[in-house]
Amino acid sequence: MLTKLTGGRVYDPTHGVDGEVRDIYIRDGRIVEHPADGKIGKEIDIRGKVVMAGAIDMHTHIGGGKINIARTMLPEDHAADVVARTELMRSGCGHAAPSTLTAGYRYAEMGYTAGFEPAILPANARQAHMEMHDTPIIDKGGYAMLGSDDFLLRMMAANEDQEAINNYVAWTITHSQAIGLKVVNPGGINAFKFNQRKLDLDEKNQYYGVTPREILLRLARAVNELGVPHPLHVHGCNLGVPGNMNTTLDTIQGIDGLPMHMTHIQFHSYGTEGDFKFSSGAAEIAEAINKHKNITVDVGQILFGQTVTASGDNMRQFAGSPHSHPNKWVCMDIECDAGCGVVPFKYKDQSYVNALQWMIGLETFLMVDDPWRIFLTTDHPNGAPFTSYPHLIRLLMDKTFRNDVLSTLHPEAQKASHLASLDREYSLYEMAIMTRAGAAKLVGLADRGHLGVGAAADITVYTDDVDREKMFSKPDYVFKDGNMVVKHGDLIDVTWGTTHVVKPEYDNSIEDSLKPYFDRYHTQKMGNFKISDDEIVDDGRGSLTVQPLHKGGAL
Amino acid sequence: MTEMTESGIWQEVSSPFCGIASDDLMIKVEGNSVSVLENGDAITKKGFETPITDTSPRIQGEEVSLQQAVSHVAELLRSSKQPVIAGMATDLNGARAAMALADKSRATVDSMFSKATFRNTLVLQDTGWMTTTLTEVRNRVDLLLVVGSDIESAFPRFYERMVWNKESMFGQDIESREVIYLGKSPSGDASTSPKGKKARLIACDDTNLPEVVSVLRALVKGRSIQAEQVGGISVTDLSELAEQLKQAKYSVVCWSGSQLDFDHAEVVIQNVCEMVKELNANTRSSGLYLGGKDGDTTVNAVSSWQSGYPMRTDFNRGYPNYDPYLNNVEQMLAKDEVDTLLWVSSFDVDKTPPKSAATTVVLGRSGMTFEQEPEVFIPVGTPGIDHEGRTFRCDSSVAVPLRKLRNSGLPSTFEVLTAVEQAL
C-alpha cells in the first residue's frame, strides 16, 4: 500500500531541503517517487507540521555488560519510574538505566529510530547484541572496542605491519558484529591492570612500551584503510581530569589528519584556571575542531540530576569512585580485552564543577561552526539519560531559556563562563543535520537519516512549537520502516529494528595467530568467541543490515 | 567453534553445567546417547550424559500431547491468584520466554540458585565491588585467596584452567603462584601446583568467618588489633596474609556464594569486597565470585535488562516490583503463599521443585523423577544438547554459544513457554 504524507514542511539536509513544503510517499517501508498512476492507499494530512527523518543517537549505552551492571545495581533508581504493562507494551523501568524494552519505546516516542552502543567489548559483544535484540522499534548497532586488548598491544610491541593490524581490526569488527571501531582511554585500561594510574598521550604502557598516541594512529589508519565509514571513535586519555584540554588538543594534532571522532568531548575540555583550578577549555577545543576538518565530535552534555556513569574506562572510573552517589560502584578487568567501571553520579546545579561542565558542553555546541561535525549526545546515561534530549534541544534552540537556566546555577561558575554572551540558536535545519543527516553520514548508514527516494521510511512528524522541549518530546507521528509506530505522541505499534553492521574485508591468515593465542591464553575458543549472523537473527525477530564500505580500502 | 568433525564427534563443545563454561570438550553422540570423551569432569559428564527417558508430557500422570499440556498450563496461570515461575534453570531464550510469560501472567520470578546468588547481589546493590574475569585470572593472578569455599568440589576444572595453566601471557612463572585458603580446607589436590606446592590453609569454621574477615580487612587498612587470636587464627597469621595481599601485584580473592552457606554471609562477602577496593588504593586486587551454573548468571542478566531487576521480582501489579525478601520463592512456598508453581529445570534431573501445596507445573529435563507427580510435567530439551542456546559464565562478562548435538525431538523451554504465553 502507498501512503502519502501531505504538505509537511520538510527538513532533509542530505538533500539541502530546508523547510520546504513537500509530499512524501511511502511504500514497502521505503520512501518512493510520486506514483505515476496517482493511486494513494492512505493519505495523512500533515500540513503545517515539521517533517524530519527519524533521529539517530550515534552514542548511547543501551546494551552490554556495564549497563546491565548499572541496572542491577540501582533498584532504587528504577523504583521511581516503573512502567506498567499495556496491551501493546511490556512492563519495565526507566530513568538512568532503563530496561531494554522501555528504552526502545521511549526512544521511539521521542522520534528516534536508531541508537548505537558505543562500547562493545569483543569479549562481551554477545551480551550487547542480546540486549539490543530485546530493544524494540529502533535500529541498533555498535562500535567494537580495541586499544587495551592484549592482542593488539602484543602486535604493536612486536612492531607488526599496518596490514596485519588492519586484518585484526576487520576480523574484530566482523566477528563482534559491529559497524565501527572504538578506543577508550587508549592503552589505559590495560595499563591499569599493571597498576598504572594514569596514561598520558605519550606515556608508555609499562609492559608493552606502547603509547596512546601510537595506538590511536594505528587504529585510525586501520579504520581508514579498511574503508569503514565511521571514523575511529575515540574516548581520549585523562577523562574528567582538570587540564585535559591540552591532551585533547594534542590528540587532535597527533592524528595526522586522519578521520577521528572524539566522543563526549565535554569531559575532555577542562582547563585549570581560576580559584577552583577548574575552567572551561571549550573555546580552544572548538577552535581546534573548526580548524581540523578531519575531526568530528559528540558533546556528552551533562544535565542536572541523578544518573549513572558506565564506561569502559575503569582507570578513570576507579579514580572517580570517591564521588559515587549513592555510594556504591563497580570496576572490572575483563578478559585481557578491556574493562569497565560503573559509578552512579548526581550532577548538582549548585556545584561549581557540575555547573561549569554544563556550560562547557553548551559552549562547545555553540562554538563549533559546522553542525555536520558535532552531534547531540548526553553520552547516555553518563551525562544524563537520553530522555532529557528534548530539554537539551531547547537549550540549544532558545537563547532566552538557556540564559534563564544559566542564571540559576552556581554563581562562581557563571562568572567563569562566557556562555551568556553566545547568541547562537540552532535552527530546525541544523538540528536535523546534527541528529539525522550528519549522524547517519557519520555512522555510515547509507539509507537512513534522510528522506530521499529509496531511503528507509524512518520519519518523524512534529507540531511546530516555540517551546522546543515540548515539540521534540511528543512527535505527532513516527514511522519506522514505513509503519506508523507513534501517533499523537503515543506508541501504537511495536516493531523490531535491524542491526546495522559493516563487513570489511580481511585476510583470514590473521586466524593463524589468533587461534593459538586463544588456545594458549584465553578461557574460550576462538570459534566460540565469534558471533554468527544467526545469533543476530536469533528467534527471527532480528535482522542484519550490512552497510556499504567507503571505496579505497587498502585490502 | 563447536562443530562436528566426524560422524558423531563434536569438538570445542561448551558446558552450560560447570559455571566456568569450559568450551574444550570433545563429545560423542550416538542416537540419543551422549558421552564426554575429553575434558569432562564429574559435573560436566553428568550434565551431558544423563539419558533421555520420558518424551511425552503428562497431566496428573497421564500422557497427553504437548498442545494439551500447554493449554492446561495456560488455564492454570489464567486462574491463578499468585503464580510463580521458579527454578529458572534455562538458557538465554528460555529466560526471555519466562520473563515474557511472567509479565503477562503477573507472576513472581525466582531462581533455584537465588539463596546463594543473592549473597552477592545484595552486596552489589549496597556497596558494589571490584572484580575480574576468568581470562584475567589465568594470565595475571599471583596470589589466589579462597574465602570459605572448597572450590574444586563444585568447580572441578577451575585450577586446571585458571591457575595451573601451562603459561601466562606475561611470562609469569606459574609455579610462583600462591594459593591460600581462609576458612574451609580444600577437599582434594586441585589447588596443589604442578610441582607439588600445596595451598596454604588458614582454617576456621564458617561461623568465625565474619569476624576473621573483618579483622583481615582492618589489618589491610593498617589498623592495629588488640586481640592475639580471632576465630582460632592467630592475628600474626592474618597480619602476614594482609601483608601478602598488599605485596601481591594482582591478587584475586575468590568465593562461592553457595558454599558460604550461613545466615547473612553477604556481610562477609561485603567485607571481602570492601577490602579488595581498599587494596586497590596501592596495588591491584580483584574479587571473583564462582557460581553461574545451569543458567543462573543468564537468568539474572536477562531479568535485569528486561525488567531492571534481577530475580525475586514480581509482576503482580502489572509492573516489575523487586523485593529480595518477600519474593523469595522458597519462603513463599513454605508459607503457602503460592497457588501455581511453574518450575523450570532443564539441566539437572535432580533439581525438582520443593515440596509445596501449590499446583505444580514442571518443565524438566527428561529423566526427572518425582516423589509426588506434578499436575503437569513437560519434558524439555537441555540447552546445548537438544537445542541451540547461549549461556553466561559465572563472571557474567562472557556468554558462550551452545549447540544442538542430537535430534531428540524434545521442545525447548523457549518453545513451551512461548506457546503458553500465546495461549493465555
Question: pLDDT by residue (tens digit) across B158-168?
Answer: 999 999 999 99
Contacts of B396 in chain A (CB under 8 A): 65
How many angstroms separate the CA atoms of B399 and B297, rounded? 10
* Judgement on whether residues B287 and B301 belong to the same structural domain of the protein: no
Query: Which class for B206: exposed (0-12), middle (13-18), buried (19 or more C-beta within 10 A)?
Result: middle
Nearest Cα neighbor of B347 from B381, B314, B375 is B381
Which residues make Cβ contacts (< 8 Å) with residue A291, sequence separation at least 6?
Answer: none
Do B415 and B302 lie in a common domain?
yes
Q: Give tens-digit pLDDT for A204-258.
A: 999 999 999 999 999 999 999 999 999 999 999 999 999 999 999 999 999 999 9
**pLDDT for res B412:** 98
For β-strands A483-487 and A305-311, DSSP reports them as unpaired
Interface of A with B in 275-334 (CB under 8 A): 318, 321, 324, 327-334
Task: Establish if B390 touches chain A: CB-CB under 8 angstroms.
Answer: yes
Give chain A's mean pLDDT.
97
Q: Which residues of B fall within a CB distance of 8 Å from A63? A: 305
Give percent of chain A with pLDDT exceeding 90: 98
What are the pLDDT digits (tens) for B178-197?
999 999 999 999 999 999 99
Q: How many CB pairs under 8 A join A and B?
A: 201
CA pair distance A457, A266, nearest whole angstrom: 33
| pLDDT, tens digit, 9 for 90 and up, residues A342-365 | 999 999 999 999 999 999 999 999
- State residue A554's pLDDT score: 39
Nearest-neighbour CA in chain B from A356: distance (Å)? 29
> What would the mean pLDDT of B282-308 be, rounded to a whole number?
97
Interaxial angle between packed helices B209-220 and B265-279, expressed in degrees from 0 to 180 and rounded to the nearest 10: 10
Considering the domain architecture, whether residues B90 and B123 belong to the same structural domain is answered as no
Instruction: Show which of B291, B307, B336 is a domain's final residue.
Output: B291
- A158/B contact by beta carbon, under 8 A: no
Identity of residue B87:
G
Out of B104, B301, B317, name the one closest to residue A68 (CB).
B301
Query: Which residues is A112 bridged to in the sheet?
Result: A55
Contact A415, A359 (CB under 8 A): no
Report the distance separating Cα B362 and Cα B387, nearest Å: 19
pLDDT grade for A552, boundaries at 50, 70 and 90? low
Helix (H) or strand (E) holding A282: helix A282-291
**Cβ separation of B399 and A130 shorter than 8 Å?**
yes
Average pLDDT across chain B, whole number: 97
Does residue A538 sit within a domain? Answer: no
For residue A488, give the CATH number of its domain.
Answer: 3.20.20
Is the residue at A18 inside a domain?
no
- Whether residue B96 is found in the same domain as residue B10: no
Among partner residues B135, B286, B320, which is closest to A523 by beta-carbon distance? Answer: B135
Task: Verify that B10 and B65 share a domain, yes or no.
Answer: no
Q: Does one domain contain both B277 and B398?
A: no
Count of structural domains, chain B: 3
B169 and B278 belong to one structural domain: yes
Give the model confidence (pLDDT) of A269-318 as tens digits. Answer: 999 999 999 999 999 999 999 999 999 999 999 999 999 999 999 999 99
- For residue B125, list chain A residues with Cβ-Cβ distance below 8 A: 72-75, 328
Q: Which residue of B has its CA nearest to A338?
A: B136
Instruction: Tell me if B100 and A92 make a contact (CB, 8 A cut-off).
Output: no
- The range of the structural domain enclosing residue B31 comes to 3-45
Q: Can you point out the beta strands (E) in A447-510?
A: 459-462, 477-480, 483-487, 490-491, 499-501
Q: What is the pLDDT of residues B7-17, one digit of tens each?
A: 899 999 999 99
**CB neighbours of B277 closer than 8 A, spacing ≥ 6?**
A321, B129, B130
Q: Do A532 and B401 touch (CB under 8 A)?
A: yes
pLDDT-derived band at A555, boundaries 50, 70, 90: very low
**Has residue A46 been placed in a domain?**
no
Round to the nearest angstrom and report the end-to-end CA distance of chain B. Answer: 39
| One-letter identity of residue A114 | A
Q: What share of chain B is helix, strand, coil (3-state, %, to 5)?
A: 35, 25, 40
- What percent of chain B clears pLDDT 90, i.e. is strictly above it? 98
CATH code where residue B350 lies: 3.40.50.740
What are A184's strand-pairing partners? A235
- pLDDT above 70 covers a percentage of chain A that reads 99
Copy the grid coordinates of residue A452: 530521499
> Which chain B residues contact residue A92 at CB under 8 A?
306-308, 320
Q: What is the pLDDT of residue B5?
A: 73
A225, part of any domain:
yes
* Domain's final residue, options B291, B315, B341: B291
Query: Contact A232/A216 with Cβ under 8 angstroms?
Result: yes
Report if residue A543 sits inside a domain.
no
pLDDT at A553: 45
Max CA distance (Å), chain B: 70
Q: Which residues of A264-320 form beta strands (DSSP E)?
A: 270-271, 279-280, 295-298, 305-311
A59 is a domain residue: yes
- Do B233 and B154 share a structural domain? yes
The enclosing H or E element of A53 equals strand A50-53
Structural domain contains residue A2? no
Helix (H) and strand (E) counts in chain B: 13, 23
Cis peptide before A504 (omega within 30 of 0): no
Residue B111's pLDDT band, with cuts at 50, 70 and 90, is: very high
Short-list B388, B361, B387, B385, CA closest to B373 = B361
Buried b (16+ CB within 10 A) or exposed e, A3-32: bbbebbbbbbbbeebebeeeebbbeeeebb
> Distance between CA B91 and CA B389 in Å, rounded?
6
Give, for A142, the enclosing helix (H) or strand (E): strand A139-145
Domain that holds residue A371: 52-499
Determine, yes or no, domain membership for A29: no
Read off the pLDDT of residues A56-94 as tens digits, 9 standing for 90 and up: 999 999 999 999 999 999 999 999 999 999 999 999 999
End residue of a domain, out of B269, B291, B313: B291
CA–CA distance, A116 with A61 (Å, rounded to integer): 8
The answer to whether the CB of B365 falls within 8 A of the CB of B277 is no
* pLDDT bucket at A551, cuts 50 / 70 / 90: confident
Give me the number of domains chain A comprises: 1
Q: Does B142 touch chain A (CB under 8 A)?
A: no
Contact status of A508 with chain B (Cβ, < 8 Å)? no
- Are B162 and B220 within one domain? yes
**B239 and B323, same structural domain?**
no
